[in-house]
Amino acid sequence: MSSPLTCLVNLVDTIGLPNAICAPCETKGCTGDTKCALGYYGDRCELCEPSYWMDTSVQPFLECKPCGATDGWVIAIAVGVAVVLAAIVLWFNNSPDLQRIALPLRNGMIYIQGRRAVLMLFRRLS
């Protein structure tokens, strides 16, 4: 009964190949023995499993990340932008400048809605 091959040095950035050879890895998927980490596969753990994607921005070792996983900073920026926009709208809500811009838009929407109602009424009558 043979046990799985392990690298003699058992370095995390290597993969154990037949004949007890340690091969260098270019991804974070190598564990130092003959098995790849979760999300990786291939002779040298160089491929991502289905439902994982290769993040090439991570250096020096590429990383497989689960699909749908979003970095926290992206969410933080989106929330920050939303908070700033909400503050701007609340700050300028009653300002004359905003009312000067909003009045023509409001009148245009009322006109479009009224015209649609008149057209629908004519269609029903004919």
pTM value is 0.44
Confidence grade of residue 16 (pLDDT, cut at 50, 70, 90): low
Instruction: State residue 65 phi and psi, 5-degree precision.
Output: -115, 150
* Residues 53, 23, 17, 5, CA torsion sign: negative
Average pLDDT, the chain: 76
Instruction: Give the span between the Cα atoms of 29 and 121, in whole angstroms.
Output: 67
pLDDT at 44: 81
Q: Per-residue pLDDT tens for 49-107?
A: 998 988 888 777 788 888 876 667 788 899 999 988 877 777 667 677 777 777 777 78
Provide the token pair at 8.
Answer: 């003699």
